[in-house]
Amino acid sequence: MTIRKDIILASASPRRREMFEEQGIPVEIVPADIDEDLPFAMSPEGAVMYLALAKADHVAEDHQGLIIAADTIVVYNGEIMGKPQDEEDAFRMLSLLRGNVHQVITGVCLVDSREELRRKECLWDVTDVYFKDYSDEELRRYVETDEPYDKAGGYAIQMTFGKYIDHIDGDRDNVIGFPMYRIRKYLETNEAGTDPADGDKE
């Protein structure tokens, strides 16, 4: 069985696209433009799966294939941290995370839009991230750059702020925004992720 070739990634994230390219899995990119406000209070895990499913369903309305969508948040002491709105918001978030441990949670949903009933699978993964200490001056210099403002929690592990991460407990790819190992395993072992053209081969 081979992995399906009609996978659609409902994301504008360059890094998520690169992860599939690195795995040799071709995907079509169709970003999902949805309202990301939650309709009611949810757990962090519920929130990321809700938003990932909303993105996948949105793209599935007009595209045929296996739609994969994801949503990533940073959680500290029960506070869900999205993308900073401005410099002060970024400074506030990263001041809270300084010298502490927080969680990065990514939800992923897969929707097979070929099927009338739309097979749907959702999962989530969590990684503990431990930050070093850093000065207010270092933080001010960082939030004056463009880097924090399209990232949950205001940072990316693979970019310049990664030097302030002491260590992590869990999947590094999940911190980047996509638990690639788990999704690759799903695609290789689940009927919904394999190429239907191979179904009759022994």
Considering the candidates 71, 112, 171, 173, report the single residue annotated as catalytic.
71
Buried b / exposed e over 114-152, threshold 16 CB at 10 Å, is eeeeeebbbbbbbbebebeebeeeebeebbeeebbeebb
Question: How far apart, in whole angstroms, are the C-alpha atoms of residue 133 and residue 192?
Answer: 45
The number of residues in the chain equals 202
* Phi, psi (deg, nearest 5) at residue 75: -125, 130
If phi > 0 it is left, if psi is from -120 to 50 it is alpha, else beta; for residue 23 that is alpha
Residue 89 annotated as catalytic: no
Instruction: Give 138-151 as a DSSP string.
Output: HHHHHHTSSGGGGS
178 three-state secondary structure: coil
Query: Residue 31 and residue 24: Cα distance in Å, rounded?
Result: 20
Give me the active site residues, please: 71
